[in-house]
Amino acid sequence: MSADGPVPGASTAAQRAGFPPDLGPAPPLRGDLPAPAPLSGWGRFPVLRGHLRVPEGEAEAAAILRAQGAGLAPRGLGRAYGDAALPPAAGPALALSTLRLNRFVAVDEAAPRIVAEAGVTLADMETALLPRGLFPPVVPGTRFVTLGGMIAADVHGKNHHAPGGGSLSAHLDWVEVMGGDGAVRRLAPGDPGFAATCGGMGLTGLILRASLRLRRVETGWLRQEVIPAPGLAAAMAAIEDAAGWTHTSAWIDCLASGDALGRALVYRAEDAGLAELGPAEAVDRWALKPAAKRLGPPPDLIPGFALNALTVRAFNALYWRSGLRAAERGAALTPWSACFHPLDAVLGWNRIYGRRGFVQFQCVLPPETAAAGLREMLETVSAARQGSFLAVLKALGEGAADASSLSFPRRGWTLALDFPATPRALRLVARLRALTAAHGGRLYLAKDATLGRAEHDALDPRAAAFRAAPARDPAFLTELARRLGL
Amino acid sequence: MNSVPPASPETRPALILGARSDMGRAVAHLLAAQGRSILLAGRDPAALERDAADIAARHRVEARALAWDAADLAGHAAWLDALPETPGVVLSAVGLLGDQEETQDDPARIARIVTANFTGPAVMLEAAAARLAALPGPTAVIGIGSVAGDRGRARNYWYGAAKAGFATMLSGLRQRYAATDLLVMTVKPGFVATAMTAGMDLPAPLTLTAEAQAKLIVDALGKRRPKVMHWKWRALMAVIRNLPEAVFVKTKF
């Protein structure tokens, strides 16, 4: 692997054989470690061998850090798509999991706020908080993420553009971080290190605990409307039109071309009040009852070719038509889980790309260049006839101002697409990255698996400031950090 | 926090002995989700405070951490009587696997294994049974044994023997209280992915999560079932129990 990251598509065969094949001399490990196991992010690309330590509590985490000292990769539920939670194969190849640092500390219903350990999952928070009329202020597209991971990626949700939205870091009272020396620091907004930690991809220390302000809801339902937009300009206009709505996002048909290029279903939603619920919803005020039996994970046998331009085109046509019908029906009451986390309905949906894995591309373009840039990107995708199962367009509000923050969101338009990890698709992603650079955009590191250092430095000048920030704790190193020299 | 009147046994607290175990903790969460207040007992109450806070914050019930040592056989009855309220459910998740090779030639270690897996929890559940059976309405004592108690294996026979003793004691206790509203439940988990088995190479199809095992226990409690064993393990252990000795001694598992 070169310092600029993997050659697109070059390593899938090697990965199946347990990439990388040669780990070199035995790493300097202390204590009893389970055998190195294949580790990957949600995209199952790349796959690296590493040891996973799962400390039960702060003291054990500190002991591991003091004994190991360097090269540790913090890891939560592994939902970053690429290698953000993977230890580099060279070195101790040690991932430090927060999954047993997973206790609620307190819920203050009056404030309202929650204090919880980093390994607590968003799903756990949502189900525990809803019956109290509380909800996390910002939720990403999946609920199977940890609080620590959400902070490290400074996640955003459908309400980023709205008042009371923004990214997760806007709602934190403080975050506690354990350094490589085992010492714990509590960082509040304004403290040195806070901005670098939020969006810092776990490189400022092991996130242990945080205090998160919550928002109040009357029910677990949302009143959602679907606006079909026949092309990109209409889609952007419909999203701008919905700026007064709290939750907006759009599904894009990335294979449509010609006049239909960028046709989209724009979703806009508001929290539903108790009085808005019909009898069917009122019996399940917090929408916590499973509506239908959730689909189990698809078998790990789906051949790589199952998801191709033809099947995606067919799916998109069906989805577009179902969207038109939904639009005719008007506003519909939708459970929070379906509105915020639609893809969670299929557990393990990452398997639909087959064993080769997939990569996600997510950029944000500034408002000035977005219309032209998005058009070029969609033309490129459509012309490549490379279907993306997931294609999401959304307007973002103001982002983090601090120069040492690597937080992704900024004012503009974000487009997310995913592609199988094939050589052809990875070449397409490289072209999309180049278009991002040409239009002054930036990329979401939690989704990335293929950027190189020089390319990233050119895209995001904040990388240099982050590298030099005192908060960057050298004890922590992930494959992403190695690849980008962060 | 909800403080509930101690009127009905359904609302009396659940006492989890050996609450640091993953299985005990998972049961505590499921019972708390049903609205029961929770008492977590173990040798290290400071560590249990973290779980008590977690349970209280998640489920909006009262949860407390208590110091209790399974080895203090003479103190168990008095310890129970000192509780502000007699629990409606007492579950023992106490267990010590130990290292067979270090154990087999060391009588002190053997005694520790027998105390942790048999005499400690058995004496405690004996005392608990007497008190819970005297309460009006349905109550339960639950002991977590192990399939290792069903047939001694070279790999862990001191652990297995102690668990076998515990299961036999629970069987007798069940018969003794058969005419009362006290349920005496014997749980025999197979492989469970917990801190106790961390680092072991367990066969995935036969390994339950602590949460799945806990759900079996709490479902059985709702249905007042006296025995809990995952169906796969019932089938497997039926075979293992019935292997002729001449065959069994030659096997390697």
Confidence of residue B200 (pLDDT cuts 50, 70, 90): confident
Q: Which residue has the higher pLDDT, B140 or A18?
A: B140
Confidence of residue A15 (pLDDT cuts 50, 70, 90): very low
Question: Stretch A111-124: mean pLDDT, rounded?
Answer: 97
Sign of CA dihedral B56, B62, B66, B71: negative
Sign of CA dihedral A113, A118, A122, A126: negative
Q: Which residue has the higher pLDDT, A390 or B115?
A: B115
The pairs formed by B51-56 with CB atoms below 8 angstroms and a separation of 24 or more are: B51/A103, B51/B19, B51/B20, B51/B25, B53/A103, B53/A104, B53/A105, B53/A106, B54/A103, B54/A104, B54/A105, B55/B28, B55/B29, B56/B1
Contact B58/A132, CB-based, under 8 Å? Answer: no
Question: Stretch A385-402: mean pLDDT, rounded?
Answer: 87
The pTM (predicted TM-score) of the whole model is 0.90
Of the candidates A32, A54, A106, which has its C-beta nearest B57's C-beta?
Answer: A106
Nearest to B151 by CA among B137, B173, B131, B167: B167
Contact B54/A105, CB-based, under 8 Å? Answer: yes
Question: Stretch A230-247: mean pLDDT, rounded?
Answer: 95
Q: What is the pLDDT of residue B5?
A: 47
Interface of B with A in 45-64 (CB under 8 A): 47, 50-51, 53-54, 57-60
Question: Stretch A18-42: mean pLDDT, rounded?
Answer: 52
Alpha-helical (H) ranges within chain B are 22-33, 45-59, 76-81, 100-103, 107-114, 120-133, 157-176, 210-222, 231-242, 245-248
State which of A21-25, A119-123, A379-383 shows the largest mean pLDDT.
A119-123
Preferred mutation among B50, B51, B209 to probe A, highest tally of A CBs within 10 A: B50
**pLDDT surpassing 80 at residue A60:** yes
Q: Lowest-confidence range among A227-231, A297-301, A433-437?
A: A297-301
Name the percent of chain A lying above pLDDT 70: 89
Structure tokens at A154: 């400074």
Contact B198/A128, CB-based, under 8 Å? Answer: no
**What does the alpha-carbon distance between residue B208 and residue B230 come to, in Å, rounded to a whole number?**
9
Confidence of residue B3 (pLDDT cuts 50, 70, 90): very low
**pLDDT surpassing 80 at residue A454:** yes
**pLDDT surpassing 80 at residue A162:** yes
Structure tokens at A143: 């609920």
**What does the alpha-carbon distance between residue A161 and residue A170 come to, in Å, rounded to a whole number?**
13
Contact A106/B50, CB-based, under 8 Å? Answer: no
Nearest to A274 by CA among A137, A129, A163, A133: A133
Task: Give DSSP secondary structure letters for A221-273.
Answer: EEEEEEEEESSHHHHHHHHHHGGGSSEEEEEE-TT--GGGTT-EEEEEEEEPP
Q: What is the least distance, in Å, from the CA of B102 to any CA of chain A?
A: 17
- Residue carrying structure tokens 């399939």: B147
Residues of B in contact with A124 (CB under 8 A): 58
Q: What is the pLDDT of residue B100?
A: 84
Q: Lowest-confidence range among A22-26, A140-144, A189-193, B99-103?
A: A22-26
Interface of B with A in 147-206 (CB under 8 A): 195, 198-199
Cα-only R_g, chain B: 18
A303 cis-preceded (ω within 30 degrees of 0): no
Residues of A in contact with B54 (CB under 8 A): 103-105
Q: What is the pLDDT of residue A304?
A: 63
**pLDDT surpassing 50 at residue B68:** yes
Of the candidates A54, A103, A132, which has its C-beta nearest B51's C-beta?
Answer: A103
Of the candidates B54, B198, B199, which has its C-beta nearest A103's C-beta?
Answer: B54
Q: Which residue has the higher pLDDT, B11 or B145?
A: B145
Strands A72-75 and A94-97, sheet pairing: parallel
Q: What is the pLDDT of residue B102?
A: 84
- HSE-CB at B141 with a 13 A cutoff on CA atoms is 30
Confidence of residue B203 (pLDDT cuts 50, 70, 90): confident
Question: Stretch A174-194: mean pLDDT, rounded?
Answer: 96
Q: What is the pLDDT of residue A33?
A: 52
Residues of B in contact with A54 (CB under 8 A): 198
Preferred mutation among B49, B54, B196 to probe A, highest tally of A CBs within 10 A: B54
Residues of A in contact with B53 (CB under 8 A): 103-106
When the pLDDT of each residue in chain A is averaged and rounded to a whole number, the result is 88
Q: Which residue has the higher pLDDT, A320 or A300?
A: A320
- HSE-CB at A172 with a 13 A cutoff on CA atoms is 29
Determine the 3-state secondary structure of B213 from DSSP. helix
Interface ipTM:
0.89
Residues of A in contact with B28 (CB under 8 A): none
Residue A219, burial from CB neighbour count under 10 angstroms (0-12, 13-18, 19+): buried
Chain B's closest residue to A132, CA to CA, is B60
**pLDDT surpassing 90 at residue A192:** no
Q: What is the pLDDT of residue A26?
A: 32
Confidence of residue A18 (pLDDT cuts 50, 70, 90): very low
When the pLDDT of each residue in chain B is averaged and rounded to a whole number, the result is 91
Of the candidates B50, B195, B199, which has its C-beta nearest A103's C-beta?
Answer: B50
Q: Which residue has the higher pLDDT, A351 or B170?
A: B170
Question: Stretch B48-75: mean pLDDT, rounded?
Answer: 97
